[in-house]
Amino acid sequence: MTRPSVRWLTSPRHLRQMLEFVGRQTLVWGAVSVVLGLVIFALDLAFAFALERFLVAIGLTVAPLKVAVVGSVAVEATIFLVIGVLRVVALWAGTLTAGLCQVGFEVDRRRDIARWALHSDRAGLGDVMTLFSDVVVGAAGAVSGVFFLAGRVLLLVATLAALAYQSITVTTTLVLILMMVVPLHRRIDRRLNGVSSVIQGSLAQAVARLLSGVKNAAFVHIHGLVGQEIRQVDGEVESYSRGFQRYYRMAATRAAVPQLIGLLVVGGIAIGGSVLFGDEKSRLVAFLFLALRLFQNLSEVAGITAKTRVNGARLIALFAWWRDSFVASRAAIDRDLAERSAIERFTAPVGWRLENLSFAWTPTVPLVCGLDLEIPPGSATVILGPSGIGKTTLLLLLTGLVAPTGGTIRLLLPEGGVPLEASRERLLASTAYVGPDAFVVPGTLRDFLAVGVDTPPSERDLAEALRRSRCDFISALPLGLDHQLTEQGGGLSAGQKQRLALARALLRKPAVLLLDEATANLDVETERGIAMALEELKGAVTIVAVTHREALKAIADQLVVLDAAAVEAAAPASATP
């Protein structure tokens, strides 16, 4: 994945793609944020002159020739207060639109990440979590910051113009003083760019390490690695902390410099006001207010610029993912979702014919080479072979979730053979899958059994599925099917969760049942009972199982033994020793 530079992102050639990435809703709120910058300037200017007129009205200053008091003190006070309230409302609206701009971007991109991660067969868990959390938040902050900066830059330019109208000499002096600070800000910006990479990399490493430790908790505890893993995560978190501490120091310095300069300059103007403005002291009040607002906005711009620079790396990383991974698969995601929402299921068992099938995850490491295999509809086929030989990959090939690099796969249907790709969605809608780790969602056992089941099962169907999968342990639970499960299925053994997963698969009433080490955590007696129940399904359901256990091998119509040469045997079970 290549990361575009900031210059690449802003080039006219790629502007349309960048605008699509940002999103229409975000662009609308961003544009409103920019316009509000001009509105705030107009209200600042009006507030300054209203203050000038109010001070003249109450007699604190003498009105310059160009100021005519339009009413009584009450009228001038009312105008002053109304403009002040409008200014507060505009500042509130600016903060609100900046937040809506950021949240809108986060929502759009998180939806994209979720669609891609759940559709892709190669999304890494650590990468997904980092994208979904830290990278999206940082990128959204950068996008919101860009719009905020655009509005504030317009505000600064307009404020400088208003100050120049009041006194070109003083305003020119202000600009020259500010230009002297530019080298310091550039030096800080260069350091911020380096800090950004440290922050992003450290958090990504911490998330990946933590997820790995949680996923393999038993191994970590048994092998005494808890302390080591904690130290590894602590190290990455400490690096993340040091990076952000450096960022906050530099950002605070960047924001404080304009404030300090502004304090000195405004103090100088106030002391020398009689020389600069003569007897028109009310003009001095308006000028001082606008000057204070200028330096206040400069401080805000400095702070937001620092934050945007730190988050710029996240924005570039997220755009690179969106361009290279999401956009390339978006059409396939939309097509699959549309097809699965209105698909007609197979009502009869399905078979396969594989001819000269080849597959490789990488071009240099072929996994399946020249495989010829037929799985008759309604049969039971057991796939054997050492770990890493491609047994699970063969299941993915049978479902069309991955495409072969060579050869053909045809579905065997009552009406004849058809290419797998022509009926892939119907096949998936008619298939049930049970893997070594049950897919668990928080909720009751009844909720667990309903996941992936198109229509709510009847009590009779529910009881039959639980009987076939030997889930008699439910009767011993105080709440029965209303027993609450945690996200990891806490309170149930691995074998109990596998039996529940098998019951859920049967409730789907599939034409095809795929079992990937689905009985690996069961005791021999329970597995034998389940195998007998599965044997009753033969003829109505095509069963394909990856296993090393004897009970399922006993009900197989054929055993497929994979070895380094792709397939050693595909023969009736009785013919295989």
Q: pLDDT of 102-159, one tens digit each?
A: 888 998 998 898 888 877 766 777 778 888 888 898 899 899 889 988 888 888 888 8
Q: Which residue has the tokens 């998330």?
A: 207
Strand partners, 569: 561
Give the model confidence (pLDDT) of 377-426 as tens digits: 999 999 988 877 888 888 889 988 888 888 999 999 988 889 998 888 88
- DSSP assigned state of 576: -
Predicted confidence at residue 408, as pLDDT, reads 92
85 vs 127, residue with greater confidence: 85
Q: How does strand 431-434 pair with strand 512-516?
A: parallel
DSSP 538: B
DSSP 394-444: HHHHHHTSS--SEEEEEEEETTEEEEGGGSHHHHHHTEEEE-SS----SEE
Q: What is the pLDDT of residue 44?
A: 84
Cα distance between the two ends of the chain? 49
Give the range among 15-29, 86-100, 359-373, 499-513 with minimum mean pLDDT: 359-373
Give me the phi and psi of 460, to 5 degrees please.
Answer: -65, -45
Question: When comparing pLDDT for 450 and 194, which is higher?
Answer: 450
pLDDT digits (tens, 9 = 90+) for 206-245: 777 777 777 666 566 655 677 777 788 888 888 877 777 7
DSSP 169-225: HHHHHHHHHHHTTHHHHHHHHHHHHHHHHHHHHHHHHHHHHHHHHHHTHHHHHHTT-
Q: Where along the chain do the CATH 1.20.1560.10 domains lie?
A: 14-334
CA separation for the pair 247, 569 (Å, rounded)? 63
pLDDT at 381: 93
Share of the chain above pLDDT 70, in %: 82
Give the pLDDT mean for 436-444.
79
Question: Considering the domain 351-575, what is its CATH architecture?
Answer: 3-Layer(aba) Sandwich (3.40)
Residues 391 and 435: beta-carbon distance below 8 Å: no
**Where are the CATH 3.40.50.300 domain residues in the chain?**
351-575
Name the CATH superfamily, with its identifier, for domain 14-334.
Answer: ABC transporter type 1, transmembrane domain (1.20.1560.10)
pTM of the predicted model as reported, rounded to 2 decimal places = 0.66
What is the distance of C-alpha 101 from the center of its chain?
17
